[in-house]
Structure 1
């Protein structure tokens, strides 16, 4: 059975694609864009989770979901695990599939034939802080949304036009065991730093997982 290095799962995610979505985050990223807010997913670890176990974990709520969003980390650093996960999803669910990657689209093109019919929409290219951020689902406007299926075009085409006045929302996720709070979505530049400052001023302990080598964030 194919194994993957998993960061976390969550449902529902409403900020990374249309509708209520299952979110799967892979652990490990070789790209490491300056300013990324998911620095906690950069470090690699041994693949320690069966893809079958991931599919079993999301099964109880997958039938309530409008789709699956896979992010990270870098999913294409674990290409076999990504393929196995999407094959399993497609075998049981009709919801759309959105995958995030920091690789340029041109680098992924040789792999996409293997994923034919498995990915409806693909966000590619590295975050670039010097580029404006007006497009939905993206941290910088150089990142491309490629629609690979008819279902992808129907579900995501409206998200490929600038929305300069739209304020991206963030889903909030709580870990009851550790007290950790996770956010899912694409914040505006500096949002996470401002949030941490507000919490500190209110007397709370706060730290974010953004890359501190850059002044803005994804």
Structure 2
């Protein structure tokens, strides 16, 4: 049985791709980009391993609309066998859901540049089953504070060096040539999830903040008397 190091699965996700989505974050990343907001996903913790079948079962149990699935991390391509099994299962479920009449896209994030991914047979096997990839390391200085006004859209990307590459006809329809001028009209960049676990209550911020957003959030919470404790972005 194939095991996946899993950091978190969440529904609904509305900030990492178009529509209402299921989000799956893998555990483990050796790239460790400076400024990453998800440092809690860096350690490849064997205690986080779950069967891929269990993740697919969770996905199948969702009773709300699912326009797509976003896979992030952590670094998905450092678990190629498990992630390949995951995307195969997602694709099979999506093809059968509602008789295949409602399209479901798979968006995957990677800290590796696209040219490297496309040269790897293991990575290409995953990309062949996805509809789009956001590829490239996060570079903090290329994440402008506030709304981006340059020529290349940062929609669904963390920094300007990253590439959003459509990989299928559906991917080209949903992710091709995003218009930066209406980025603000596509909804908030961040959403909040509160989970109760064995270690107590934990707050997750889902999405792609602009540089300085998380520090501003911490300051605002402190002024309101809310102490954030340990955070994943420092």
Q: Aligned in 2, Cα 1:62/1:21: closer, same or farther, shift over 3 Å?
A: farther
Q: Cα gap change, 1:101/1:175 in structure 2, threshold over 3 Å: closer, same or farther? A: same
Q: 1:21 to 1:165 in 2, by over 3 A?
A: closer
Aligned counterpart for 2:158 among listed residues 130, 133, 139: 139
d(CA) in 2 for partners of 1:26, 1:205: 27
Aligned-pair distance for 1:141?
Answer: 0.7
Q: CA deviation at 1:117?
A: 3.9
Higher normalized contact order (CA 8 Å, seq sep 6+, divided by chain length): 1
Question: Counterpart of 2:225?
Answer: 203
* Alignment partner, residue 121 of structure 1: 132
Q: Is the 8 A contact 1:22 1:62 kept in 2?
A: no
| Conservation of the 8 A alpha-carbon contact between 2:195 and 2:201 | yes
Shift of 1:18: 0.3
SS of structure 1 residue aligned to 2:141? coil
C-alpha deviation, 1:155, in angstroms? 1.1
Richer in helix (by share): 2
Specify the SS of the correspondent of 1:31: coil
Q: How does 1:163-174 map to 2 (within 5 A)?
A: 163=181, 166=184, 168-174=188-194
- 1:152 alignment partner in structure 2: 171
In structure 2, the residue matched to 1:162 is: 180
Look up the match of 2:215: 193
Answer yes or no: is the 8 Å Cα contact 2:127–2:133 preserved in 1. Answer: no
Q: How many residues align?
A: 210
How many angstroms apart in 1 are the aligned matches of 2:28 and 2:208?
19
Q: For residue 61 of structure 1, report the CA deviation from its aligned partner.
A: 1.2
Alignment partner, residue 42 of structure 2: 42
The match for 2:112 among 87, 92, 103 is: 103
Moved more, 190-199 or 128-137: 128-137
Q: TM-score, normalised by structure 1?
A: 0.90
Give yes or no for contact 2:83–2:126 (8 Å, CA) kept in 1: no
CA–CA distance in structure 1, aligned partners of residues 182 and 142 of structure 2: 13
What SS does structure 2 have at the residue aligned with 1:87? helix
Q: Is contact 1:11–1:21 with CA below 8 Å preserved after alignment?
A: yes
Is this contact kept in 2: 1:100–1:123, CA < 8 A? yes
SS in 1 for 2:201: coil
1:44 Cα offset (Å): 1.1
Partner of residue 10, structure 1: 10
Partner of 2:68: 67
Asked whether the equivalents of residues 19 and 68 of structure 2 are also in contact (C-alpha less than 8 Å), the reply is yes
8 Å CA contact 1:168, 1:186 repeated in 2: no
How far did residue 168 of structure 1 move? 4.5
Are residue 58 (structure 1) and residue 48 (structure 2) matched? no
TM-score with structure 2 setting the length: 0.84
**1:62-113 per-position Cα deviation (integer Å, ceiling 9, x unaligned):** 7620010000000001011110000001111141000000001111012354
After the TM superposition, list the runs of 4 or more consecutive aligned residues in structure 1 that deviate by more than 6 angstroms: none
